[in-house]
Amino acid sequence: MKIISVENVVKCFPVGDGKFTALDHISLDFFTGEFAGLVGPSGSGKTTLLNIIGSLDKPSKGKAQVAGKDIEALTHKQAAQLRNHSIGFIFQVFNLLPVYTVFENVEFALLLQKKPWHERKKAVMDALEWVGLENMADKKISKLSGGESQRVAIARAMVKRPRIMLADEPSANLDAKNTHSIMETMKTLNQEFKTTFLFSTHDEKVMQYLDRIIHLEDGKVVKDEIITSRKEDF
Amino acid sequence: MIHFLLKGLLRDKNRSLFPIIIVSIGVALTVFLSGYIKGVMGDMIDTTAKFDTGHVKVMTRAYAKNIDQMPNDLALMGVEKLTKELARKYPEVTWVKRIKFTGLLDVPDDKGETIRQGPAMGLAIGLFSGSGREVARMNIKNSIKAGKIPENPGEALIGIELAQKLKLKPKDIVTYLGSTMNGSMAFMNFIVTGFVRFGSQSLDKGAIIIDIFDAQEMLDMPDACGEILGFFENNVYFDSKAQILASAFNTEYFDESEEFSPVMVRLKDQANLAYYMDYVDLYTMIFVGIFVIAMSVVLWNTGLLGGLRRYQEFGIRLALGESKDMIFRSLIIEALLIGTTGSVLGTIIGLIATWILQVHGIDISSMTANSTIMVPSIIRSKVTPDLFYIGFIPGLFAMVLGNLLAGIGIFKRQTAQLFKELEI
Ligand SMILES: Nc1ncnc2c1ncn2[C@@H]1O[C@H](COP(=O)(O)OP(=O)(O)OP(=O)(O)O)[C@@H](O)[C@H]1O
Ligand SMILES: [Mg+2]
């Protein structure tokens, strides 16, 4: 099933008097359960594309359909709804809320969905188990290592069981061991829940886990390679 | 959700404790300063009340009409009974009898021949016959510049400049010449026990202060006096209280046909004080207004910085699916909470401080002892009703305004741009 469809998307930013084209007629489709990544030099437009797919930004031209919604037509509220229910984000810096505990950071997304306490508790503990942090539920964020923090971020993004996970350079602040460990965790989640993962990365270690690598350069797709043909039917 | 946000708010001292402290300090200062200004600027009124008008004053209607002439022929009669009645009906008010009079002071030589003479304005109070409260009220002990306070009938205090003019020394004898209540000749010898300087021109240049009993005898006014003055607790004037008191009294005692029926007037009704007090109110408002604006700017900055510091948090919350409206709203609610808490705390602190300085004024008379200008000898603040809300203006307004502006900043920014800042 097609879950993300990007059609002739152009994104321009105003620069001085003129404008800068960050995405130049991009067309891409992603299917449920893909484990794909955008790679390319700095400034090639990876983050810009992820932001559009994540409904944090809108295309200047073209169409982007995500989980059945037209991104360019969404209001602020509708975009927030889409993010709340269907999209999980993981960032380069872990972006956890420092005043809350591990449990509370993960719980936050479910509070937004107004889930009752017993459901929240179970879902949060499950999510912490997926990332191997079930014993750290009450820890303060400031007491966590980098690897642990990124695991909390993964649990937070996954706890609402989104259909799409967007990860912008998730390994940039991690060492090799932690990078492998979180990639394995995410791969497992991808297989278990059929969650579609879309990465943006420079990191060889990340790339070796990807099933599909899309090369961007100057806002254009220059190569779209399938690494392993997946056995499961999309 | 609200619970969750509150939890975060309480744990993050940068968002809760520190802004509350800043707001509280600002609000407490605003409250205290306005109470202080009201107190100090009201001090002249206070002095006038103590020496002249009281907080309320009872006299005959005829006396009230001609008050400038100190017409003791129109004085109140049966004042023992009236004072007792007043004390019974209004026990929270202190009632004292006073007589004002004019006449000549004559300094005789050994043979009784006049050496020097000068006009004098007399004030008769409970100097040693009363409970000593009048002496305290006028701060007489500290105002004596030479000699001592009278202790016996036939003793008097004299304004220091008048004493110099008449070349008097303590224990000299002066003769008062004037007229009695009935218009016949009055004269009496006084031993001058001391000289006083109150800092008021008219008193220092022309006053003779004697005991009320001496005055009654000298002016042939048994059981009579010109004025009965009422003073509120802690010597602080409240116009609303005076108004209620006066209208209750006047309803009861007013008699159209009797021009010697007693009438009560407020401090504000006397000696053009209404004009002066409105003037003080205006200046107080201007002072407080300036301070409120200054405080608002400080708190506005605090709110703004708080909002800017939290871009990261807002980015995360947006990514997790909160809409901008929701974040904006929670930001304002938070500011309201903090602003209210800080304002309540600050108001309480400010009120307590103001109240303390109202009850226990700071006595600066030792510092101003040698001053020749009129300086209040005790600094007092004053708790007025507006102090209960005035602090909320900078407290709440500035806090919310700061967050509002910060929030608008966030709103205006492209969502994606917020993320740009996140990833640095
Ligand atoms: N809001 C913006 N205003 C102006 N230019 C922008 C804006 N956002 C991105 N750009 C520009 O668009 C281009 C693509 O940026 P983008 O962040 O998508 O690159 P990237 O591939 O993610 O790079 P990196 O690997 O460094 O993260 C860059 O040249 C960037 O300067
Ligand atoms: Mg990027």
Token digits of residue B124: 């008769």
Q: Which residues of B touch A85 (CB under 8 A)?
A: 321
Q: Do residues B41 and B129 both lie within one domain?
A: no
**Ligand 1: which atom is nearest the Cα of residue A50?**
18
How far does residue A45's CA lie from ligand 1's centre (Å)?
Answer: 6
Q: Do residues B307 and B413 both lie within one domain?
A: yes
State how far the Cα of B382 lies from the Cα of B362, in Å rounded to an integer.
13
- Going by CA atoms, what residue is nearest to atom 28 of ligand 1? A43
- Going by CA atoms, what residue is nearest to atom 3 of ligand 1? A13
User: Which of A83, A105, A106, A152 to substitute to test the interface with B, most B CBs within 10 Å?
Assistant: A83
- Per the domain annotation, does B255 fall within a domain? no
Q: Which residues of A touch B17 (CB under 8 A)?
A: none
Q: Do residues B281 and B388 both lie within one domain?
A: yes
- Per the domain annotation, does B249 fall within a domain? no
- Per the domain annotation, does B388 fall within a domain? yes
Q: Do B321 and A112 touch (CB under 8 A)?
A: yes
Helices (H), chain A: 46-53, 76-86, 102-112, 117-130, 146-158, 176-193, 204-207
Q: Do A77 and B12 touch (CB under 8 A)?
A: no
Domain boundary residue, one of B231, B264, B292: B231
Tell me what pLDDT residue B41 has: 67
Q: Do residues B76 and B24 both lie within one domain?
A: no
The pick from B412, B420, B421 for probing ligand 1's pocket by mutation, whose C-beta has the most ligand atoms within 8 angstroms, reads B420
Amino acid at B189: N
pLDDT tens for chain B, residues 1 to 424 = 788 888 888 888 877 888 888 889 888 988 888 888 777 767 777 788 888 889 999 999 999 888 888 899 999 999 999 999 999 999 999 999 999 999 999 998 888 788 899 999 999 999 887 778 889 888 888 889 899 999 999 999 999 999 999 999 999 999 999 999 998 999 899 999 999 988 777 788 889 999 999 999 999 999 999 999 999 988 778 888 999 999 999 999 888 888 889 999 998 888 666 676 677 678 767 866 776 677 677 766 766 676 666 777 888 888 888 888 888 888 888 889 988 999 999 999 999 999 998 888 776 655 554 444 444 556 778 788 888 888 888 788 777 877 777 777 666 665 556 555 554 3
Q: Do residues B64 and B20 both lie within one domain?
A: no
Q: Give the count of beta carbons closer than 10 Å to the beta carbon of residue B181.
A: 21
Indicate the pairing of strand B173-179 with strand B185-196.
antiparallel
CA B95 from centre of chain: 19
- Per the domain annotation, does B253 fall within a domain? no
Angle at B255 between CA B252 and CA B258, to 5 degrees: 145
The pick from A44, A58, A91, A201 for probing ligand 1's pocket by mutation, whose C-beta has the most ligand atoms within 8 angstroms, reads A44
**A89: nearest CA partner in chain B:** B319
pLDDT tens for chain A, residues 1 to 234 = 899 999 999 999 988 888 999 999 999 999 999 999 999 999 999 999 999 999 988 999 999 999 999 999 999 899 999 999 999 999 887 788 888 999 999 999 899 888 999 999 999 999 999 999 999 999 999 889 989 999 999 999 999 999 999 999 999 889 999 999 999 999 999 999 999 999 999 999 999 999 999 999 999 999 999 987 554 444
- Going by CA atoms, what residue is nearest to atom 12 of ligand 1? A22
Who among A82, A104, A112 is closest to B322 (CB)?
A112
Q: Give the count of beta carbons closer than 10 Å to the beta carbon of residue B233.
A: 12
Backbone angles phi, psi at A221, to 5 degrees: -80, 120
Q: Which residues of A touch B416 (CB under 8 A)?
A: 48, 51, 56-57
Q: Are B350 and B29 in contact (CB under 8 A)?
A: yes
How many A/B residue pairs have CB atoms within 8 Å?
82
Ligand in nearest proximity to the CA of A38: 1
- Per the domain annotation, does B254 fall within a domain? no
Q: How many alpha carbons lie under 13 Å from residue A156 in its C-beta half-sphere?
A: 34
Per-residue buried b or exposed e for A165-184, using 16+ beta carbons within 10 Å of the residue's own CB: bbbbbbbbbbeeebbbbbbe
Q: Do residues B167 and B130 both lie within one domain?
A: yes
Q: Do residues B118 and B215 both lie within one domain?
A: yes
- Please enumerate in sequence order all residues whose Cβ is within 8 A of that of B409, keeping only pairs 6 or more positions apart, or say none: B307, B308
State how far the Cα of B65 lies from the Cα of B261, in Å rounded to an integer.
12
Q: How many alpha carbons lie under 13 Å from residue A122 in its C-beta half-sphere?
A: 4
* CATH number, domain with residue A124: 3.40.50.300
Question: In this predicted complex, what is the ipTM?
Answer: 0.84
Q: Do residues B328 and B344 both lie within one domain?
A: yes
State how far the Cα of A54 lies from the Cα of B321, in Å rounded to an integer.
10
Q: How many alpha carbons lie under 13 Å from residue B404 in its C-beta half-sphere?
A: 10
Q: Do residues B21 and B170 both lie within one domain?
A: no
- Per the domain annotation, does B238 fall within a domain? no
The pick from A11, A12, A13, A60 for probing ligand 1's pocket by mutation, whose C-beta has the most ligand atoms within 8 angstroms, reads A13
Q: Do residues B43 and B97 both lie within one domain?
A: no
Sign of the four-CA dihedral B272, B276, B282, B284: negative
Q: Say what the pTM is.
A: 0.68
Per-residue buried b or exposed e for B104-126, using 16+ beta carbons within 10 Å of the residue's own CB: ebbbbeeeeeeeeeeebbbbbbb
Q: Which residues of A touch B8 (CB under 8 A)?
A: 97, 99-100
* Cβ of residue A11 lying under 6 Å from some atom of ligand 1: no
How far does residue A142's CA lie from ligand 1's centre (Å)?
Answer: 30
Q: Do residues B79 and B130 both lie within one domain?
A: yes
What residues make up the domain containing A128? 2-233
Tell me whether residue B252 is exposed, middle or buried, using C-beta atoms within 10 angstroms of its C-beta: 0 to 12, 13 to 18, 19 or more: exposed
Backbone angles phi, psi at B370, to 5 degrees: -100, 10
Q: Do residues B87 and B42 both lie within one domain?
A: no
Residue B25: closest CA among B361, B398, B290, B384 = B398
Q: How many domains are there within chain A?
A: 1
Summarised one tens digit per residue, pLDDT across range B393-407 is 878 877 787 777 777
Who among B12, B321, B416 is closest to A84 (CB)?
B321
Angle at B162 between CA B158 and CA B167, to 5 degrees: 100
Q: Do A114 and B1 touch (CB under 8 A)?
A: yes
Q: C-alpha distances in angstroms, B4 versus A99, B258, B407?
A: 11, 75, 20
Q: Which residues of B touch A (CB under 8 A)?
A: 1, 4, 7-8, 11-12, 312-313, 315-326, 414-416, 419, 422-423
Who among B321, B324, B416 is closest to A57 (CB)?
B416
Per-residue buried b or exposed e for B337-365, using 16+ beta carbons within 10 Å of the residue's own CB: bbbbbbbbbbbbbbbebbbebbeebeeeb
- Going by CA atoms, what residue is nearest to atom 4 of ligand 1? A13
- Going by CA atoms, what residue is nearest to atom 24 of ligand 1? A42
What residues make up the domain containing B96? 56-231
- Per the domain annotation, does B262 fall within a domain? no
Q: For chain A, what is the largest distance between any 2 Cα atoms, rounded to a whole number of angstroms? A: 55
Tell me what pLDDT residue A102 has: 96
Q: How many domains are there within chain B?
A: 2
